[in-house]
Structure 1
Amino acid sequence: MTYIIWNHDGMLFDLGFYALRWYSLLFALGFVICYYLLKRRFIKEQVPLEKLDKITIYSIAGAVIGARLGHCLFYDFEYYSQHLLEIFLPFQFEPTFEFIGYRGLASHGGGIAILIALIICSRKYKMDLLWIFDRLAVVAPIAAASIRFGNFMNSEIIGNPTTVPWAFIFQRVDNIPRHPGQLYEAVVYLIIFGVLYTLNKRQKKGNGFIFGLFMIMVFSARFIIEFFKADQSAFEAGMMINMGQVLSIPFVILGITLMVLKRKEAKADKETEL
């Protein structure tokens, strides 16, 4: 059987003194697209764009810091507990000093940190937290999909071995046909964006409903897709479910809880009106 050969080095261009990787471009592009879509929404709702700027700054800071800490704590704690400076500095000190950039980001860590950052932002600038969450939830899948396309360009977060016709051979990893786990996630996130974008135009429920649905859809999808992906760390080999699945469960529970509460709230409001 003929499989798809993938051997891209992940580099967009290298000028010698400066190199740009596809991952970096796609990571940034995801946030730019989200900002553009949110800007249209804020203008339509006549919300000052200064609020959007503050939300964006806190979200990006939370995403980057949280994703980095998430990788170091959840997936490679044994190493980084002995190399604390390398958590925040883009350098490797052993076995030789070398600039390596940040070679480890975990989406769950980014998600947790974004929630914390936005809680701080909402309190500091007197904005309704669920109002913020609902609007970010609609566009967040775009950023998630963009990052997964970046992972694909880097031949990372690959899938388990398979014989399906669309299997990829990531030659920079090995010569085994595998599920393109990054593409599975990216496509699913784009579908979720389409669903949320459509529902957001029609939904009449209170703030938090769309965010709750986002949490359920995204992290349920992540939980399922993890079955097709190779383990990210050696310690996951003996686990019934891997770290990505373990970390997805609380997000799904949070989403279900929020939607149930909002449904009860909407029912109570309707009975009050009657």
Structure 2
Amino acid sequence: MLTYPNIDPVALAIGPLKIHWYGLMYLVGFGAAWWLANYRAGRSDATWSKQQVSDLIFWSAVGVIFGGRAGYVLFYNFEQFLANPLWLFKIWEGGMSFHGGLLGVTTALFLYGRQINKSFFEVADFTAPLVPLGLAAGRIGNFIGGELWGRVTDASWAMVFPGAGTLPRHPSQLYQFALEGLLLFTIVWWFSSKPRPRMAVSGLFLLGYGSFRFFVEQFRQPDAHIGFVLADWITMGQLLSTPMILLGAFMLSWSYLSKQQQRGNI
């Protein structure tokens, strides 16, 4: 069994002001996305200006924060929302959902694309490879905060998390860091480094994230107030990831099918 490092979740405290590692990880994620976007926009075949990249990151950040909070409240704590609708706006109390953040970013990309006269998938395909490193940073924030731990196990790399009892558990945050973060980034970044049919990069991202998340949920402890939502083994995370897998596979297949049809009509 490994020893949980038990890092103070508060990175910096100045009087009543407390800056948490989780919040800093968001800054790391957006900073990495900004750098990668500028790197890609600097290529000779890119059609993005530096100003457009900066605006894209800003719009995405707004979508992540508001969508992530709304998704957490509606998907995971709807009863509390019904009891106190204003709780939706108490972002400082914590609680974010990737699937909600995805919906928020999707809306933001659609609106921003209209503003700069780019199609939705032109914006989405450019943005998708930038996301996984931000997800990786967020999972490190979860690990430092000792939250979203895994299920009880006797694996040699298990850890005892503060607040999770005395039994060793899967460090599922690190599994998500490795799969949804580093591995997904490697796959999507490589795939997008060459010309692909419109929609293909976005489809691969949805398919990859949904598949990795569905897999890791088998090791992650379900939310205590929700438990399993279907068949005594399907979690909310798996339920929300299933449409991503199906939609991503459809988008990826359709993008190449449409390209072949266009060639056939030439």
User: Shared topology, TM-score over 0.5?
Assistant: yes
Of the three residues 248, 259, 268, the one matched with 2:241 is: 248
SS of the equivalent of 1:47 reads: coil
2:134 paired residue number: 143
1:63 aligns with 2:64: yes
The one-letter code matched in structure 1 to 2:11 is: L
1:263 paired residue number: 256
* 8 Å contact from structure 1 (residues 6, 170) kept in 2: no
1:217 aligns with 2:217: no
2:220 paired residue number: 229
Aligned partners of 2:186 and 2:244: how far apart in 1? 20
Provide the TM-score with structure 1 as the length reference.
Answer: 0.90
Q: CA RMSD in A?
A: 1.6
Cα shift readout 1:235-254 (whole Å, capped 9, x = no counterpart): 22463311111111111122
Q: Percent identity?
A: 26
Aligned partners of 1:205 and 1:86: how far apart in 2? 43
1:114 aligns with 2:114: no
* 8 Å contact from structure 1 (residues 76, 233) kept in 2: no
2:182 paired residue number: 190
2:51 paired residue number: 50
The one-letter code matched in structure 1 to 2:183 is: I
The one-letter code matched in structure 2 to 1:180 is: P
Aligned partners of 1:6 and 1:176: how far apart in 2? 16
* 8 Å contact from structure 1 (residues 157, 181) kept in 2: yes
Aligned partners of 1:114 and 1:31: how far apart in 2? 13
Aligned partners of 2:90 and 2:155: how far apart in 1? 41
* 8 Å contact from structure 2 (residues 229, 236) kept in 1: no
TM-superposed deviation, 1:54: 2.5
SS of the equivalent of 1:8 reads: coil
> Residues 94-113 of structure 1 correspond to what in structure 2 (within 5 A)?
101-113=92-104
SS of the equivalent of 1:4 reads: coil
Aligned partners of 1:18 and 1:31: how far apart in 2? 22
* 8 Å contact from structure 2 (residues 228, 236) kept in 1: no
Aligned partners of 1:200 and 1:238: how far apart in 2? 35
1:94 paired residue number: none
SS of the equivalent of 1:179 reads: coil
1:200 paired residue number: 192
TM-superposed deviation, 1:78: 0.8
In structure 1, the gaps of 5 or more residues are 91-100
Q: With a CA cutoff of 8 Å and minimum separation of 6, indicate the structure with the bigger relative contact order.
A: 1
1:130 paired residue number: 121
Cα shift readout 1:233-274 (whole Å, capped 9, x = no counterpart): 42224633111111111111221111111111121133234x
Which shifted more, 17-26 or 49-58? Answer: 49-58
Provide the TM-score with structure 2 as the length reference.
Answer: 0.93
In structure 2, the gaps of 5 or more residues are none
* 8 Å contact from structure 1 (residues 11, 20) kept in 2: yes
Aligned length in residues: 261
